[in-house]
Structure 1
Amino acid sequence: MDLVKTILVLGASGTVGSELSRLLEAAGHTTRRATSRASGPGQVHVNLVTGEGIADALMGADAAFLMSPPGHVNQDELLGPVIEQARTHGVQKVVLMTAMGADADPSTPMRKAELALEASGISWNVIRPNWFMQNFNSYWLHGITHAGAIQLPTGNAKGSFIDTRDIAVVAADLLQRSEFDDREFDLTGGDALDHNAVARILSTAAGRPIRYEEITPDAMRAGLLSAGLPAPYSEFMLIILNYFKLGYAERVTDAVQTIIGRAPRTFAAYASEYRDAFVR
């Protein structure tokens, strides 16, 4: 295993970044936890929108985990300067997290960011996770709590949801060894489930009825805007939710098993471990 010493983690306060930072520190590495509001030991301030803090955060770093902050659709403009600074500062390895399907169109901002990394001369991995299991205890939780329903415009289509903790394990593994350098991976769970099946699993875990309620895109848009999401990002969310409805999230890959040597967590395991979020 090719160990590195100092690793920058963008989005370190998020679901993937926080767990990734914990795993890297447990393995003995120095982790620079980059957030837009650095406030504690080991944290560094990085503002991808203004570029503030990028160079300082990368100085002396051996490797970096990159992702675009939620709420923005210009991922190439935000991540391009980070990739260039990583090259300038001699970073040896970068793992970039985008999203499954990002490679479908080379003109999209997310794919442009991937291509910039691949052309940088830095050893790299791109990981493209499918929809997060943890969305149900965060973004979709309001409907579950207040209406007893998962409220989404996704029809009966299936998704191979993945636990964010598995994404973090994959990223940690890739940052610490070179076996899979310069490769891209679509990360999924082990099974594809529609939202009716998800609702049944959550109901069992919570001990109360939870159902799936299909809503219109207009209703979804209103909910996203009322939650404070910017209009362009709300439209982006509607586009990718429509891709879900069209069946593009159903594919299952063996990438997690290949990289970390075990199967991804099941949705039932996730629901049981996050049970407290759903019993209210």
Structure 2
Amino acid sequence: MRILITGTLGNIGSAVADYLITGGNKVLLGDISLTDLNERYPNQDCCYFDFTKAETFDDALDNVDRVFLMRPPHLGRPEDLEPFIQAMDDKKIQLVVFLSLMGVETNTRPPHHKIEKIIKSHQIPYSFLRPSFFMQNLSGVHSEEIRIKNEIFIPAGKSKCSFIDADDIGYAASVILHDADKHQNTAYTLTGPDSLNYYQVAEQMSQLFKRTITYKKPSILRFRQYMIHKRHLDKTYVNVMCALYLMTRLGAAEAVNDVFYQLTGRQPHTLKDFLIRESASFNQ
């Protein structure tokens, strides 16, 4: 049998794939661009997969017993994933590793909370990964303002965040998927090694990149308007971001733990490690 990885072309999905392949596991790599998958992984089994197209489910679950499940950012309604969750139930999947979110066990606002409940209602053996904020949010959606304006434009107030590298999340997922029986019906909150506010993030960036980068600290309303009307991002995606930053302002992403080390036996990357590695994303 083999492991289906959804969202393989993303930061975390690709890390899961790379670690599982390196470890000698049989995988099936799924995403919405089969061409890009075949170019990136020419020697692996790949399939066209779309959560909104049920006709892609059978091929994606063919000869599969474990699944890495990641909600696409543009699907804000938990119900959008329910048809695929039902398909996993029908196929008697032995373990689904769902990429959830830190704090959703008590916070019902993000869609991850209800997706966890849907998975449990189908009684599929699960492992929920609940990471803190991804470091890749800085090099991804927020990098434009950093590169062009030397600004971190994020509505997190003065709150702190225990940022974690997507590479570490991918490695943790690969460890769990490799040893499925050991991790059935578990949940792991994953953090990086430090809890930092965005003033401290800006200071680290300024020192490393040799220019002054400022944390602007907009309100959530101003951030939402900017992302929708200036950046022209999908409204559903922006609304989810706003809900997550509201959680951050309330302290939901502040805690630091050693779960990643206990799970994997290695230390998580620091923010400095990440900024050095991804420096090209922040410089014009």
Q: How does the TM-score come out when normalised to structure 1?
A: 0.92
Deviation at 1:90, TM superposition (A): 2.9
Q: For each residue in 1:131-155, what CA deviation from the matched residue of structure 2 results, as whole angstroms up to 9, or x when unmatched? A: 1001111111011011101011211
Query: May I ask how many residue pairs the two structures share in their alignment?
Result: 275
Compared with structure 1, are the counterparts of its residues 52 and 253 closer, same or farther at alpha carbon in structure 2 (3 Å cutoff)?
farther
Q: Does 1:230 align with 2:226?
A: no
Provide the C-alpha distance between the structure 1 equivalents of 2:109 and 2:133, rounded to a whole number of angstroms.
Answer: 22
Deviation at 1:105, TM superposition (A): 4.3
Provide the C-alpha distance between the structure 1 equivalents of 2:99 and 2:110, rounded to a whole number of angstroms.
Answer: 15
Tell me what 1:201 maps to.
204
Partner SS state of residue 223, structure 1? helix
Provide the C-alpha distance between the structure 2 equivalents of 1:86 and 1:235, rounded to a whole number of angstroms.
Answer: 28
Compared with structure 1, are the counterparts of its residues 48 and 218 closer, same or farther at alpha carbon in structure 2 (3 Å cutoff)?
same
Provide the C-alpha distance between the structure 2 equivalents of 1:30 and 1:116, rounded to a whole number of angstroms.
Answer: 27
Tell me what 1:6 maps to.
2
Provide the C-alpha distance between the structure 2 equivalents of 1:107 and 1:135, rounded to a whole number of angstroms.
Answer: 20
User: Which one-letter code corresponds to 2:54 in the other structure?
Assistant: G
Deviation at 1:191, TM superposition (A): 1.1
User: Which one-letter code corresponds to 1:217 in the other structure?
Assistant: I
Provide the C-alpha distance between the structure 1 equivalents of 2:22 and 2:174, rounded to a whole number of angstroms.
Answer: 11
Tell me what 1:93 maps to.
95
Partner SS state of residue 103, structure 1? coil
Compared with structure 1, are the counterparts of its residues 28 and 108 closer, same or farther at alpha carbon in structure 2 (3 Å cutoff)?
same
**Same amino acid, percent of matched pairs:** 28
Q: For each residue in 1:78-120, what CA deviation from the matched residue of structure 2 results, as whole angstroms up to 9, or x when unmatched? A: 2222222122223222101111122224686422221232343
Tell me what 1:104 maps to.
106
User: Which one-letter code corresponds to 1:266 in the other structure?
Assistant: T
Contact 1:100–1:186 (8 Å) recurs in 2: yes
Partner SS state of residue 125, structure 1? strand
Query: Any runs of at least 4 consecutive aligned residues in structure 1 with deviations exceeding 6 A, and if so which?
Result: none
Q: How does 1:127-276 map to 2 (within 5 A)?
A: 127-177=129-179, 178-225=181-228, 226-276=230-280
| Structure 1 stretch displaced more, 104-113 or 250-259 | 104-113
The runs of 5 or more residues in structure 2 that have no matched partner are: none
Partner SS state of residue 7, structure 1? strand
Tell me what 1:62 maps to.
65
Tell me what 1:53 maps to.
56
| Structure 1 stretch displaced more, 27-36 or 224-233 | 224-233
Contact 1:195–1:212 (8 Å) recurs in 2: yes
Contact 1:207–1:279 (8 Å) recurs in 2: no
**One of 21, 34, 37 as aligned partner of 2:30:** 34
User: Which one-letter code corresponds to 2:216 in the other structure?
Assistant: E
Q: How does the TM-score come out when normalised to structure 2?
A: 0.90
Deviation at 1:237, TM superposition (A): 1.7
Provide the C-alpha distance between the structure 2 equivalents of 1:187 and 1:45, rounded to a whole number of angstroms.
Answer: 30
Q: For each residue in 1:48-105, what CA deviation from the matched residue of structure 2 results, as whole angstroms up to 9, or x when unmatched? A: 1232301220121021100110122112x22222222122223222101111122224
Contact 1:34–1:43 (8 Å) recurs in 2: yes
Computed over aligned residues only, the root mean square deviation of the Cα atoms, in angstroms, reads 1.8
